Amino acid sequence: MQFNPFLKAIKTYESGKDIDLIAKEYGLNEVIKLASNENPYGVSPKAKRAIIDHAHLAYLYPDDTMSELKQALAKRYNILNENIIIGSGSDQIIEYIVHAKLDHSKAYLQCGVSFAMYEIYAKQLGVKVYKTPSLTHDLNELGELYQKHKNEIKVIFLCLPNNPLGECLDANAVFEFLENIDDDCLVAIDGAYNEFAAFKDDKKRIDPKELINKFQNTIYLGTFSKLYGLGGMRVGYGIACKEIIDVFCKLRAPFNVTNLSLKAAVAALNDDEFVQKTLENNFSQMRLYEDFAQKYQIKYIPSYTNFITYFFDKKNSTDLSEKLLKNGIIIRNLQSYGLNAVRISIGTAYENSRFFEEFSKNF
């Protein structure tokens, strides 16, 4: 059977292994997953309550207007419902960006190493990718590449803070950069971890309202998968001017988010206590990872997220990841990004102590 030719170029996404499968495969009693930047404190109690309280309604199709969640987000960001689109994770909003603006005759721009899904969706349509020589976000390099290829580049992805490296640009610098981007180029500010960055340093905070009011060619992406502890529920969102949201709504399939996910997201957004505890613990535990790296003379980039990336000189990241895996610690090997590095999600105090223990033995 013949399929569309662009499918030939696509490699199937291979996800990480499930905790239960790894426990079985290696005969382990305990598996600690520090690989996917989930919230180590679990589901917010309010969100868990919302799921349990609405479980009996799982037979009904979701409210496809999603007005309750939009209203909660609109209130949070002081914007209107019409500025919001809800996706099955912010991944799905990335997909809409690519499908609405790009095709095989166009290109998008990103820094040297950033969130893998940008490229995965782009490749599905044969879109060209421009990446800066620097791995992390360098606005001069991004600006130069943009100016050189502005006829082709119709989307720029800025990941603030950047996954999988952890660095973050200042909001001021980003706003200055945006002054020099043409109106027809859509700039996506991926704020999947922005709450973490803003907590550490308020200069990193991107205010979606200010962003979209100043620059009609921007979209802000947020998610419930990280700080809000709902990675399994698949809820993310895009915030942009009405014109962009209306176009993206044409690409959205009806009922793209489950009804329990919508209820859980509303509850999680209002669980301030859980959010605050997560942020405080994250950065106090992060310091232990920085101290540990210094002790072992491991290079790292100061992180504005809920993970930290260790770069190696002599040790091989693949060997190390595999050794840790056999001892029940899952971390993210960045070899697929062309880096001899690993990304470690900041866990609970206990999980982190287990990481330090096993890492020390195997380093």
State which of positions 92-111 bind its own copies (CB under 8 A): 92, 95, 99-103
The answer to whether 98 touches 125, Cβ cutoff 8 Å, is yes
**Of residues 258 and 340, the one with the C-beta less far from its own copies:** 258
Using CA atoms, how far apart are residues 199 and 205, in angstroms rounded to an integer?
Answer: 8
The interface with its own copies within residues 9-68 (CB under 8 A) comprises: 10-13, 15-21, 33, 36, 38-39, 41-43, 47-48, 51-52, 55-65, 67
For residue 151, state whether it binds its own copies (rule: CB under 8 A): no
3-state secondary structure of 341: strand
The interface with its own copies within residues 277-316 (CB under 8 A) comprises: none
Using CA atoms, how far apart are residues 344 and 358, in angstroms rounded to an integer?
Answer: 13
Closest distance of CB 347 from its own copies, Å? 12
131, exposed or middle or buried, with CB in 10 Å at 0-12, 13-18, 19+? middle
Closest distance of CB 243 from its own copies, Å? 7
Query: Which residue in 134, 147, 180, 216 binds its own copies (CB under 8 A)?
Result: 216
Choose one: 168-176, 202-210, 229-237, 344-352; the region binding its own copies (CB under 8 A): 229-237
Closest distance of CB 68 from its own copies, Å? 9
Closest distance of CB 363 from its own copies, Å? 27
Query: Which tokens hold the place of 334?
Result: 């960045």
Q: Which contiguous run of DSSP H or E holds residue 189?
A: strand 186-190
Using CA atoms, how far apart are residues 232 and 100, in angstroms rounded to an integer?
Answer: 27
- Beta-carbon contacts of residue 66 (< 8 Å; ≥ 6 apart): 86, 257, 262
Choose one: 257-265, 287-295, 310-318, 320-328; the region binding its own copies (CB under 8 A): 257-265
